[in-house]
Amino acid sequence: MEKNPLTLIGTQLVRSDASEKVLGAAKYVDDLHFSDTVYLAIRTAEVASGALRSIDISKARGSHGVLAVLTHADIPGENQMGSPVPDYPILLKPGDEIRYVGDYVAFVVAHTREQALRAAEKVTVMVAEKKPVLSLNERIRELQKGGDYVPAVHQKIRKGDSDPKTMFDSCDYVFEGDFFADYQEHAYLETQGMIALYDQDNVMTIYGSMQCPYYVQNGVARALGFPINRIRIIQSVTGGAFGGKEEVPTYFAIPAALAAYHLHRPVKLVLSREEDIQWTSKRHPIKSRYKVGIADYGRLRSIQVEAHADIGGHSTLSPTVLWRSSVHAAGAYEIPNVRVDVYGHYTNKVPSGAYRGFGSPQVFIGIEGIIDDVADHLKKDRLYLRKINALEKGKTTPTGHLLPESVGAKKTLEEVERLSDWERLKERVAQFNREHKHLKRGVGIAHIHYGVALGAMGHALDASGAFVNVLPDGSISVHIGGTEMGQGAKTVIGAIVGEVLQQPMEKIHVYQTDTFFLPDSGPTVASRTTVFSGNAAVLACQELLKTLTALYSTEMAVPPQSVRYTGGVFSNTEGQKPVGFGELAGIALKKNIGLCATGWFQTPRLTWDPENGFGEAYVTYSFASQIVVVEVDCLTAEVVVKEVYTAHDVGKALNPDGVIGQIHGGFVQGMGYALYENLKVNEKGKIVSDNFNTLTIPTIHETPEIFKVSIVEEPFSKGPFGAKGIGEPSLIPTPAAIANAVSDAIGKRVREIPIRKEYLLDLIRTAP
Binding site for ligand MOS (CB under 6 A): 211, 243, 246, 354-356, 358, 525-526
Element (H, E) at 477: strand 476-480
- Asked if residues 45 and 90 have their Cβ atoms less than 8 Å apart, the reply is no
Provide the H-helix boundaries in 86-158: 113-121, 136-144
**Complete DSSP assignment for 666-682:** HHHHHHIIIII----B-
Confirm if 464 and 521 have CB atoms less than 8 A apart. Answer: yes
CA dihedral 595→600→604→606, nearest 10 degrees, is -170
Task: Kindly provide the residue ranges of all beta strands, DSSP E only, lying in 81-189, ordered along the sequence.
Answer: 97-98, 104-110, 124-129, 153-159, 173-181
Considering the complex, state which of residue 526 and residue 763 has its C-beta at the smaller distance from ligand MOS: 526
Q: How far is the CB of 732 from ligand MOS (least distance, A)?
A: 11
CB nearer ligand MOS, residue 422 or residue 623:
623
**Minimum separation from the CB atom of position 527 to ligand MOS (A):** 7
Q: Give min distance, CB of 659 to ligand MOS, in A.
A: 17
Instruction: Give just the sign of the alpha carbon dihedral 277, 283, 288, 290.
Output: negative
Per DSSP (E only), the strands in 650-735 are 706-712
Residue closer to ligand MOS by CB (options 255, 357) is 357
- Of 207 and 358, nearer to ligand MOS (C-beta) is 358
Q: How far apart are CA 392 and CA 413, in angstroms?
A: 12
Asked if 210 contacts 226 with a C-beta cutoff of 8 angstroms, the reply is no
Torsion on CA atoms 514, 235, 507, 585, rounded to nearest 10: 0
Nearer Cβ to ligand MOS, position 276 or 372? 276
Spatial contact of 204 and 219, defined as CB atoms under 8 Å apart: no
Distance from C-alpha of 542 to C-alpha of 729, rounded to nearest angstrom: 30
Torsion sign (Cα): 679, 682, 686, 689: negative
Q: Which residue lies nearer to ligand MOS by CB, 359 or 498?
A: 359
> In angstroms, rounded to a whole number, what is the distance separating the alpha carbons of residues 236 and 259?
20
Taking the least distance from each CB to ligand MOS, the nearer of 186 and 652 is: 186
358 or 517, CB closer to ligand MOS? Answer: 358
Report in angstroms how near the CB of residue 448 gets to ligand MOS at its nearest: 15
Helix/strand/coil percentages in the chain, nearest 5: 30, 25, 40
CB of 4 to ligand MOS, least distance (A): 34
* 646/730 with CB nearer ligand MOS: 730
Left (φ > 0), alpha (ψ -120 to 50) or beta: where does 401 sit?
beta
Q: How far is the CB of 396 from ligand MOS (least distance, A)?
A: 25
- Least distance (Å) between residue 247 CB and ligand MOS: 10
Nearest approach in angstroms of CB 667 to ligand MOS is 16
Cβ closest to ligand MOS, residue 217 vs residue 352: 352
Query: Shortest Cβ distance from residue 356 to ligand MOS (Å)?
Result: 5
When the beta carbons of 248 and 468 are compared against ligand MOS, the nearer one is 248
Nearer Cβ to ligand MOS (211/399): 211
Q: Name which of 419, 397, 398, 418 is nearest 406 in CA terms.
A: 397
- State which residue, 487 or 549, has the beta carbon closest to ligand MOS: 487
- Sort 693 into a burial class: Cβ within 10 Å, 0-12 / 13-18 / 19+: exposed
Which residue blocks in 706-767 are alpha helix, DSSP H? Answer: 733-746, 757-765
- What are the two backbone dihedrals, phi and then psi, of residue 273, each rounded to the nearest 5 degrees? -60, -40
**Smallest distance from the beta carbon of 721 to ligand MOS, in angstroms?**
22
Contact yes or no for 716/406 (Cβ under 8 A): yes
Residue type, 578: P
Q: Closest distance between ligand MOS and the C-beta of residue 65, in Å?
A: 37
3-state secondary structure of 601: strand
To ligand MOS, the closest distance from the beta carbon of 442 in angstroms equals: 29
Q: Which residue is nearest to ligand MOS (CB)?
A: 243
Closest distance to ligand MOS from the beta carbon of 490 (Å): 17
Closer residue to ligand MOS (CB): 215 or 581:
215
Minimum CB–partner distance for residue 674 and ligand MOS (Å): 18
Tell me if 649 sits within 8 A of 409, measured CB to CB.
yes
List, in order, residues 6 or more apart from 562 with CB less than 8 Å away: 553, 572, 573, 574
Cβ atoms of residues 251 and 269 within 8 Å: no
CB of 211 to ligand MOS, least distance (A): 6
Find all residues with CB under 8 Å of 18, minimum gap 6, and list them.
none
Question: What is the closest distance, in whole angstroms, from the C-beta atom of residue 727 to ligand MOS in the complex?
Answer: 7
698, HSE (Cβ side, Cα atoms, 13 Å): 23
Q: Which is nearer to ligand MOS, 355 or 570 (CB)?
A: 355
- In the bound state with ligand MOS, the residue whose beta carbon lies nearer, of 244 and 685, is 244
